[in-house]
Amino acid sequence: MQIRTTGQKIYRIFSISLTTLTLVILLTFTGVIFRYPVRFTDYIEKHAQEFNVDFHLVQGVIWTESKVNPNAVSHVGAVGLMQLMPETAKWASEKLGIEFSHDKLYEPDFNIKLGTFYLSFLLQRFDTRNALAAYNAGQANVFRWQAENREEIPFKETREFVQRVERAKRVYRFLN
């Protein structure tokens, strides 16, 4: 029978607790990495710099819109990583002077370029919260809400979209 001193007992408890804590942190961090994949960073960085948009904000929009799936298509027809409506993407490509093709919306570089340009356009017109709301619900709705002096975004889906983007932005800032 082994007799342990108080110091040995404390050390053993501390060692077990530290090992458990390390394991919990590792599993949590691993879960975050799987849940928030870090992909297409070269394209995101290039276009975020080109259009002066926060790199992590673009990552947050991509994660929220498509879960980083370049082949994503929504029930309303939004396409690709940044879930661009074809009409919006066509408008953006005309503004940028580049050829538009619906099929190219599935290409990460093209989709991120147009989506980041559009986000930049909205950020020039609105603060970040309202720019994200406009990205999701359209500019006309945001202009109407502002004219009605609404503090809260009235569409639940859009309110939750803005919250998810902001949360994903914080996670990506941590991961990068």
Is residue 29 domain-shared with residue 55, that is, in the same domain? no
Is residue 98 domain-shared with residue 170, that is, in the same domain? yes
Determine the Cα–Cα distance for residues 119 and 22; give it in Å rounded to an integer: 39
Counting the structural domains of the chain, the total is 2
Is residue 16 domain-shared with residue 58, that is, in the same domain? no
Is residue 13 domain-shared with residue 99, that is, in the same domain? no
Is residue 15 domain-shared with residue 60, that is, in the same domain? no
Confidence of residue 176 (pLDDT cuts 50, 70, 90): confident
Is residue 108 within 8 A of residue 81, CB to CB? The reply is yes
pLDDT in tens, 116-173: 999 999 999 999 999 999 999 999 999 999 999 998 999 999 999 999 999 999 988 9
Is residue 123 domain-shared with residue 148, that is, in the same domain? yes
Q: Looking up tokens 């559009």, which residue turns up?
A: 118
Is residue 136 within 8 A of residue 157, CB to CB? The reply is yes
Question: What is the pLDDT, as a whole number, of residue 30?
Answer: 54
User: Any idea which of 34-43, 51-60, 139-148, 161-170 has the lowest mean pLDDT?
Assistant: 34-43
* 18 has pLDDT over 90: no
Is residue 49 domain-shared with residue 30, that is, in the same domain? no
Determine the Cα–Cα distance for residues 81 and 76; give it in Å rounded to an integer: 15
Query: What number is the average pLDDT over the span 17-46?
Result: 67
CATH number for 144: 1.10.530.10
Question: What is the pLDDT, as a whole number, of residue 37?
Answer: 82
Is residue 47 domain-shared with residue 123, that is, in the same domain? yes
* 13 has pLDDT over 90: no
pLDDT in tens, 102-117: 999 999 999 999 999 9
Question: What is the pLDDT, as a whole number, of residue 21?
Answer: 47
Is residue 28 domain-shared with residue 46, that is, in the same domain? no
Question: What is the pLDDT, as a whole number, of residue 43?
Answer: 98
Is residue 78 domain-shared with residue 142, that is, in the same domain? yes
Is residue 130 domain-shared with residue 155, that is, in the same domain? yes
Could you list the residue range(s) of the whole structural domain that residue 29 is in? 1-35
Is residue 86 domain-shared with residue 3, that is, in the same domain? no
Q: What is the dihedral of CA 50, 86, 109, 165, to 10 degrees?
A: 70
Question: What is the pLDDT, as a whole number, of residue 32?
Answer: 53
* Residue 148 annotated to the active site: no
Q: Check 65, 87, 148, 166 and give the catalytic one.
A: 65
User: Any idea which of 17-21, 39-43, 45-49, 101-105 has the lowest mean pLDDT?
Assistant: 17-21
Q: Which amino acid is at 144?
A: R
